[in-house]
Structure 1
Amino acid sequence: MKGALLVNLGSPESPDAKDVKPYLDQFLMDKYVIDVPFLLRAFLVRGIILRKRPEKSAAAYKKIWWEEGSPLIVLSKRMFAKVEKQVQIPMSLAMRYGKPDILSGLQQLHDKGVTEVMLFPLYPQHAMASTVTILVLAEELRKKHFPDMKFTTVPAFYNKPDYIKNLGESMKKHLGNFEYDHLLFSYHGIPERHVRKTDVTKSHCKIDNQCCITPSPAHEFCYRHQCYETTRQVVEYLGIPEGKYSQTFQSRLAGDKWLEPYTDIEIDKMPEKGIKKLAVVTPAFVADCLETLEEIAMEANHQFKEHGGEEFLAIPCLNDDENWCATVADWVNQWAKS
């Protein structure tokens, strides 16, 4: 029997530091997130970062926490519920970090007699710290607990026509009559070395102005290329003129070279360039979370206006948009029939 497991990032169980700390420990100790040798990673995370970061992160989570719980979890569950009603096979929802975890998601499917699983990372673009870590952990769990189970992995859907249409139409709906001076596509940042590590050719990804637009097998797993391609296709779909939009990367950590340009720095400079009305969309996420609700809708909004901006619109993620849920259900149903 076939079944599907949808997997998103995850969230602390509460916005209190006591729950944020173990969540951050699990997240930052992942070798695909901070990809350095274990002892160095443990020193950085447990010896330095976790001394102060949990309190700071908890304060940020408290600003966006909903009565029902973590926005990411609540929105993922809403989306899942709508998708589940439209498919003919068993489904479960899991998070890479926190709960519900991947093991429990696979167990639910196993208990229903599922032997073949559609493993669906809910990330449009492929990256080590998102897609790869889900696939690796799921495979480890399969071998240990469900050796007779088979996986079919949903590849990055950054350029699938249905996804581009869903994203474009959602943006159009939320923009409404907002007459923006500029539309910013802000993607989650990753260290440049992650791009080079996922380069299957071991030579193509130079992170210059040419490699992402020069055809290569490397693009199948290149986060940077896939971000630019998502932007290009959405811009084309919506008919946004050149000069009216740009792309940046957010959420970097200190100490490493991360993908540029940086969202916060670029937003701070926009008002002096005459951009007074700014709209920001975050297509690396399908559900609103700390990085979209606090970092963009609150902090970036504040910084933009502090530097002379007048109006700021944070465009919501796809979340439980009806068309997006119908698209996910259609992908699952197509696979179920294959």
Structure 2
Amino acid sequence: MEAKSDVGIILMNLGSPDSTAVPDVKRYLNEFLMDKRVIDYPYLFRLLLIRGIIVPRRAPKSAEAYQSIWWEDGSPLIVLTKQLQNAVQHDLQMPVEIAMRYGNPSQEYAYERLLAQNPGLKEVVLLPLYPHYAMSSYETAVEHAKAVHKKKGYNFKLTIIPPYYDQPDYINALAESMRPYVEQDFDHLLFSYHGVPERHIRKGDITGKHCLQVDDCCHVASPAHEFCYRHQVHITSELVAEKLKIPREKWSVSFQSRLGREEWLKPYTAAKLEELPKQGVKRLLVSCPAFVSDCLETLEEIAVEGKHSFIKSGGDSFTMIPCLNVHPLWVQAVVKWLGTSQS
């Protein structure tokens, strides 16, 4: 299709190292972990902690992990995001670019690519590929996109798609992508979401008195829910389970990828994978809806390490359900949102 000259699209994902080499992984981790919305300690303390302790210790291990899941074409997350870009581009009359919050291609690169194709660009529509609002994911992506836009003095308008954790098109796509797996015999479905520190949840509470302070806070109406990751992931899980008609006793929610010793959202996925076999769960399905593209956290942390832990603890079968990636209903939902988002 011939592209319009005045509107462009950017699909924004988390990012990945340029390669599995330790220096590239170290560079990526430094950028990622030094983000004040990821580790929100004072700058000097964060600098000493990240560059002096965490990254030097973590980079070699992370490089090995990336090597174990790296594809011939490169990082799975980058490859899958490009595939989504191509699928969306096929159905839209607007140019589509991708950007990563950390690493390449950068936000500025994506803006410049759109301008090169469309000198008369009037609007860029940004879709953060994070269904849920969290300070360390959706918020940092959006604020970074805004900051680059302002710093470069671009004349085009920036329009941002809000979180879509409860949007019918997203829920339908997620549920249908999972349906072939839940139609098989299984004992339990675990929704494993990327974890965040409890401090982040309290910090994002615009009321200052609701999140993690009120009993069953995620199900008690509050303005805080607009920015509450914990609330939003529970809603996603409930809506998907309802659509798939999975009884409440056959599914649960947990949180993975904990970093450091402070309290993060619980229950922890690692602990659940050890506990479930002891509770009679022998056939487990795991879905990771915080991610729309498979990546290190799904392909290695869950599909390899998580499976090993579950089987070692007495489980019989473990299946990680792939992320949405380029599922036709997901592509259809993205095209619909982008096609109707222009002002």
Could you tell me which residue of structure 2 aligns to residue 9 of structure 1?
A: 14
Q: Deviations over 1:117-142 (max 9, x none)?
A: 11211001011111111111111111
Query: Which whole-Å CA distance do the structure 2 matches of 1:210 and 1:46 have between them?
Result: 38
1:46 aligns with 2:51: yes
Kept in 2, the 8 Å contact 1:25–1:45? The answer is: yes
- List gaps (5 residues or longer) in structure 1: none
1:133 aligns with 2:140: yes
Could you tell me which residue of structure 1 aligns to residue 3 of structure 2?
A: none
Q: How many residue pairs align between the two structures?
A: 336
Could you tell me which residue of structure 1 aligns to residue 86 of structure 2?
A: 81
- Partner of 1:260, secondary structure, is coil
Query: Which whole-Å CA distance do the structure 1 matches of 2:11 and 2:40 have between them?
Result: 25
Kept in 2, the 8 Å contact 1:250–1:263? The answer is: yes
Q: Calculate the TM-score normalised by the size of structure 1.
A: 0.97
Query: Which whole-Å CA distance do the structure 1 matches of 2:180 and 2:101 have between them?
Result: 31
Could you tell me which residue of structure 1 aligns to residue 220 of structure 2?
A: 214
Kept in 2, the 8 Å contact 1:126–1:222? The answer is: yes
- Partner of 2:126, secondary structure, is strand
Could you tell me which residue of structure 2 aligns to residue 90 of structure 1?
A: 95
- What is the identity, as a one-letter code, of the residue corresponding to 2:85? F
- What is the identity, as a one-letter code, of the residue corresponding to 1:134? A
- Partner of 2:23, secondary structure, is helix
Q: Deviations over 1:183-227 (max 9, x none)?
A: 000000000111112112122112564111011111111000000
Kept in 2, the 8 Å contact 1:175–1:315? The answer is: no
1:31 aligns with 2:36: yes
Kept in 2, the 8 Å contact 1:63–1:294? The answer is: yes
Could you tell me which residue of structure 2 aligns to residue 172 of structure 1?
A: 179
Could you tell me which residue of structure 2 aligns to residue 20 of structure 1?
A: 25
Distance 1:209 1:299, change over 3 A: farther
- Partner of 1:120, secondary structure, is strand
Distance 1:91 1:172, change over 3 A: same
Could you tell me which residue of structure 2 aligns to residue 264 of structure 1?
A: 270
- Partner of 1:212, secondary structure, is helix
5 Å-filtered alignment, 1:225-304, equals 225-304=231-310
1:117 aligns with 2:130: no
Q: Deviations over 1:248-284 (max 9, x none)?
A: 0000012221000000101101111111000000000
- What is the identity, as a one-letter code, of the residue corresponding to 1:213? H
1:163 aligns with 2:170: yes
Of the three residues 64, 69, 73, the one matched with 1:68 is: 73
Query: Which whole-Å CA distance do the structure 2 matches of 1:275 and 1:90 have between them?
Result: 47
Q: Which moved more, 1:310-319 or 1:117-126?
A: 117-126
CA RMSD, Structure 1 to Structure 2 (Å): 1.2
Query: Which whole-Å CA distance do the structure 1 matches of 2:141 and 2:188 have between them?
Result: 35
- What is the identity, as a one-letter code, of the residue corresponding to 1:303? S
- List gaps (5 residues or longer) in structure 2: 1-5
Query: Which whole-Å CA distance do the structure 2 matches of 1:51 and 1:12 have between them?
Result: 15
Query: Which whole-Å CA distance do the structure 2 matches of 1:115 and 1:144 have between them?
Result: 17
- What is the identity, as a one-letter code, of the residue corresponding to 2:121? V
Query: Which whole-Å CA distance do the structure 1 matches of 2:14 and 2:127 have between them?
Result: 12
- What is the identity, as a one-letter code, of the residue corresponding to 2:14? L
Q: Deviations over 1:1-34 (max 9, x none)?
A: 2222110000001112111000000000001100
